[in-house]
A and B are shown apart, each in its own frame.
With several copies, the nearest count.
Chain A
Amino acid sequence: MLEVQGLTIRADGRDLVRDLALRLPAQGITALIGPSGCGKTSVLKWLAGILPQGLGATGTLRLDGAPIAPPHRALSYQPQGDALFPWLTIAQNAALGLTVAGLPRRAAHARVAPLFAAFGLAGCEALYPAQLSGGMRQRAAFLRTMVQDSRLVLLDEPFSALDAVTRLRMQDWLRSRLQAAPRAVLLVTHDLHEATGLADRILVMAAGPGRIRAEIPVPIPQDQRSEAALAPLRETLKTLLLEDPPR
Chain B
Amino acid sequence: MLMRVLTPLAVFAALLAGWEAYCRLAGVSPLVLPPPSGVLRALVQNRAEIAPHAQATLSVAALGFSLSVAFAFLTSVVLQALPRAERALMPLFVASQTVPLVALAPLMILWFGFGLLPKVLLVVLVTFLPMLISLLSGYRQVPQAFVDLLQAMGAGRWTVFRRARLPSARPAFLAGLRISATYAIVATIFAEYAGARRGLGIYILAAKNNFRADLVLAAVVVSAGLTLALLALLHLAARLTARGPEGQAPDA
Q: Could you list which residues of chain A lie within 8 angstroms of chain B, going by C-beta atoms?
A: 45, 48-50, 71, 73, 75-81, 83, 85-87, 96-97, 100-101, 127-128, 130-131, 148, 154
Q: Which residues of B contact A81 (CB under 8 A)?
A: 145
Q: Which residue of B lies closest to A127 (CB)?
A: B245
Tally of chain B residues near chain A (CB < 8 A): 20
Q: Say yes or no: is B167 at the interface (Cβ < 8 Å to chain A).
A: yes
Q: A86-B244, A128-B245 are in contact. Are A50 and B148 (CB under 8 A)?
A: yes
The reply to whether B146 and A83 contact each other, CB–CB distance below 8 Å, is yes
Distance between Cα atoms of A82 and B150 in the complex (Å): 13
Interface secondary structure of A, over-half rule: loop
Q: Could you name 17 residue pairs across A and B whose Cβ atoms are closer than 8 Å? A: A49-B152, A71-B153, A75-B152, A76-B152, A78-B149, A79-B148, A83-B143, A83-B145, A83-B149, A87-B243, A96-B150, A96-B153, A100-B150, A100-B153, A101-B153, A128-B243, A128-B244
Q: Which residues of A contact B170 (CB under 8 A)?
A: 87
**B 137-148 to A, binary, CB cutoff 8 A, 1 in contact else 0:** 000000101101
Q: A49-B151, A50-B152, A73-B154 are in contact. Are A85 and B146 (CB under 8 A)?
A: yes
Q: Say yes or no: is B61 at the interface (Cβ < 8 Å to chain A).
A: no
The reply to whether B152 and A48 contact each other, CB–CB distance below 8 Å, is yes
Q: A80-B145, A83-B149 are in contact. Are A100 and B155 (CB under 8 A)?
A: yes
Q: Which residues of A contact B149 (CB under 8 A)?
A: 77-79, 83, 96
Q: A85-B164, A86-B244, A87-B243 are in contact. Are A77 and B150 (CB under 8 A)?
A: no
Q: A81-B145, A87-B170 are in contact. Are A71 and B151 (CB under 8 A)?
A: yes
Contact of A48 among B148, B163, B244 (CB under 8 A): B148
The reply to whether B153 and A97 contact each other, CB–CB distance below 8 Å, is yes
Q: With both chains docked as a complex, state the minimum distance between the C-beta of A91 and any C-beta of chain B, in angstroms.
A: 13
Q: With both chains docked as a complex, state the minimum distance between the C-beta of A153 and any C-beta of chain B, in angstroms.
A: 11
Q: Which residue of B lies closest to A130 (CB)?
A: B245
Q: With both chains docked as a complex, state the minimum distance between the C-beta of A245 and any C-beta of chain B, in angstroms.
A: 23
Q: Which of B143, B148, B154 counts the most chain A CB atoms within 10 A?
A: B148
The reply to whether A45 and B153 contact each other, CB–CB distance below 8 Å, is no
Distance between Cα atoms of A148 and B152 in the complex (Å): 11
Known: A77-B152, A79-B152, A130-B245. 15 other contacts (CB 8 A): A49-B152, A71-B153, A71-B154, A76-B152, A76-B153, A83-B149, A85-B163, A86-B244, A96-B150, A100-B150, A100-B154, A100-B159, A101-B154, A130-B246, A154-B152
Distance between Cα atoms of A221 and B201 in the complex (Å): 82
Distance between Cα atoms of A48 and B148 in the complex (Å): 9
The reply to whether B246 and A100 contact each other, CB–CB distance below 8 Å, is no
Q: Which of A48, A76, A83 counts the most chain B CB atoms within 10 A?
A: A83
8 closest cross-chain pairs (CB), A and B: A77-B152, A79-B145, A128-B244, A48-B152, A83-B145, A100-B153, A50-B151, A87-B167
Q: With both chains docked as a complex, state the minimum distance between the C-beta of A92 and any C-beta of chain B, in angstroms.
A: 10
The reply to whether A148 and B153 contact each other, CB–CB distance below 8 Å, is yes
Q: Which of B143, B167, B170, B244 counts the most chain A CB atoms within 10 A?
A: B244
The reply to whether B244 and A87 contact each other, CB–CB distance below 8 Å, is yes
Q: With both chains docked as a complex, state the minimum distance between the C-beta of B196 and any C-beta of chain A, in angstroms.
A: 42
Q: Which residues of B contact A76 (CB under 8 A)?
A: 152-153
Contact of A130 among B150, B152, B154, B244 (CB under 8 A): B244
Distance between Cα atoms of A76 and B149 in the complex (Å): 9
Distance between Cα atoms of A78 and B148 in the complex (Å): 9
Q: Which of B151, B152, B159 counts the most chain A CB atoms within 10 A?
A: B152
- The A-contacting residues of B in range 150-195, CB under 8 angstroms, are 150-155, 159, 163-164, 167, 170
- The A-contacting residues of B in range 197-252, CB under 8 angstroms, are 243-246
Q: Which residue of A lies closest to B147 (CB)?
A: A50
Q: Which residues of A contact B146 (CB under 8 A)?
A: 83, 85
Q: With both chains docked as a complex, state the minimum distance between the C-beta of A117 and any C-beta of chain B, in angstroms.
A: 23
Q: With both chains docked as a complex, state the minimum distance between the C-beta of A171 and any C-beta of chain B, in angstroms.
A: 21
Distance between Cα atoms of A127 and B32 in the complex (Å): 61
